Structure 1
Amino acid sequence: MAILITISIFLLSAQVIGSAQMLSHHHIIGILGESILLPCSLNSSAPVVPARLKFYWTVNETILAHVFYDGKENNDPQDSFYKNRTEIFTDLLSSRNFSLLLKDLRVKDDLTTFFVFYRQEDENSNELIQKKKMCSTILRVAKSFQKPVVTVNYEDRKAECTSRGGYPEPRLTWTNQNGLLDHEDPQITQDSGSGTVNIYSTVNITENQMVTCTIFNPTLKETLNTTKSTSEVQEGFTPSIIGVTVPIITVLILICFGVFYFVYKKGCGARGGATGASSGATGASSGATGPTDFPQLPEVVLLVPELVLLVPELVLQEQEVVPQEPEVMLQEPEVEILVPEVLLQETEVMPQETAVVLQEVMKSRAF
């Protein structure tokens, strides 16, 4: 308690001296969440004896941020906001370096003014260095914003811009090819924990515009912007459609080609069978006209197996002979064996046209 009273008296007397000296302020910028060094060097030729040195870092001349008293650090009277956040370099005090390291910068540190008050006494407590106020430093705290994200709401015909995680509150503008755009006041929200700022803004749009959202951090003098087209076919969207559509179209074309080829081949086979059947019918008709038409004799021979094989069906079912395809030529040996049986057993019921054909066949083979 006695130390605190002594410090208070010392600060009051130092304020009077400091105000008369009209100190110039040094501005410094720190990044939120990081550390910053507040520089301070004593401009004096007098030797500094740390064991008899008293100096204090204060905030706005009333709050104690760090205390060095009678040769050692004594932070009992230190304000709780700065507990475990400050550090001096005791090994540099003899070289007149009184700099303060401030850690874990917070939003509340922004726009604070730091001073150093100090004095030195001899071994008999006689003042060697007069009470002095020096190293006035105005601290600014800032943090970069994330790059703005711009999206287009086609239903509401608005462009939306969002940026997060910065400090202090930025300036936001909308522009297009023709210049600045009027927009609604941005919505500003602040994170309760970190104190960082989030910003959101919208602007009315028309077709075929290139709109740009710009964020300016006044402390860091930092500008970030993002440009977006308001056309409904966005850049980067068309390639993705093509990447999906082209393979699908290719597969459909191949399927159509395969179906067409299958139908085509099947149609050709049907036409070939019909042609063979027609030729067989023509041959049978020609053979029935008599044995004098020798050029057509091979066709009659090809049809003989079919006629002989069909004889039982013609007898039993009394159906008209239907010529078959020439594939039954492979069964010709069986046909030759069956012909006598058919002739012996079914002569009475055999149609006259068939008998005529068989007679012609037998005559031709006799040659």
Structure 2
Amino acid sequence: MVALAALNKPHAGTSMAARLNNMEHHRALRAHLHAAAQSLDEARTTLHTPAPSRPPSPSANPSGPDGTPHPMPHPGETTITNRIRRLDLLAQADRLQQLGSDFDTLKNDISNLTAHPGSELLEQLTPKITQTHRLTGRTLERLTELGTSQYAAVPGSSASLAALSSVVESASMAAASLASAIAANPLDTTDEADHKARQSSAAPRQAELLTEATRFLDLSVTGCHFVAGGILRNLRAHPAHMPLLPQLTDAQYTALEKIGQDGTRVIRSLRGDRQTVRAGDGSTIHAKPFAVLAENRLIRVPLRGTSLVLDVTVTAAGQLILDMHKPARTPTSAPPKAKPAAAAATGHRR
């Protein structure tokens, strides 16, 4: 805050161009600090739910073991309850996978920035900082929901929750590195010689900060995928916490196995009235088992849009079935009866 205040004080001998440059820096920093403050407000709202303001009743104030009533909270005071959320843990794992993919996309976008220091780089970095704050907020939502749900009671979940907390930290550090790159960014001035000198001195520092941001984002990618896989590992290791999964026929399970090997695509006709599902090995997956898998959310098909080729992947629920469940195989005909050992060995006697 001292640095921001100093930008408003013109120093003796400072040129008008330099003052304008400081003012541009000031505006940019204020915008990014405002975005960070909004993210913090959303996080506080998510993490703390104020108690409803209604008069206490005797039944709402149970007594302790010695018969002494528990102290009542003051009006407006935030209370912490032991209410456990019942979540679809497999859907949470899918959201974490998607969150990791979004972190990865942002990381690649920042790695591919080609702008030189100046106003062009400012324009390119501004939306990236905003996206980083949004992803940090989404990570906080996942952490809050999982940490207050039945997942916290699953043995081994503490490691996943700790890893997700680290993702919040690494994402925040990435945003801080990008903000530092903004602070080190020299904006365009009318003094061409001064501008070029400042650009050349700022370029190495900005490159270092952008590389640092991508490294933190890469840690966020790894953390999200680790936690998503950790949910499945914990459920497999402790079946008592396993959610109900649909029973599949032979054809449905075979189709799920093929899709789980990657490379499966939905190919639509130019008119859009027909589609073919091709597995990674080139075989065709029939429409009926494919529709059942999609209906039970065991596979993920992107929104159609205008693309004629859509990649199909297995969801967390589908992966859990592949890991733990076998199809309910029913024999098509009765097995042949074995011949008596004696008759098979000696033949008939007269």
The TM-score normalised by the length of structure 2 is 0.23
TM-score by length of 1: 0.22
Question: Greater helix share, 1 or 2?
Answer: 2
Name the larger-Rg structure: 1
Would you tell me which structure has more strand in proportion to its own residues?
1
Q: Which of the pair has the greater relative contact order for Cα pairs under 8 Å at 6+ separation? A: 2
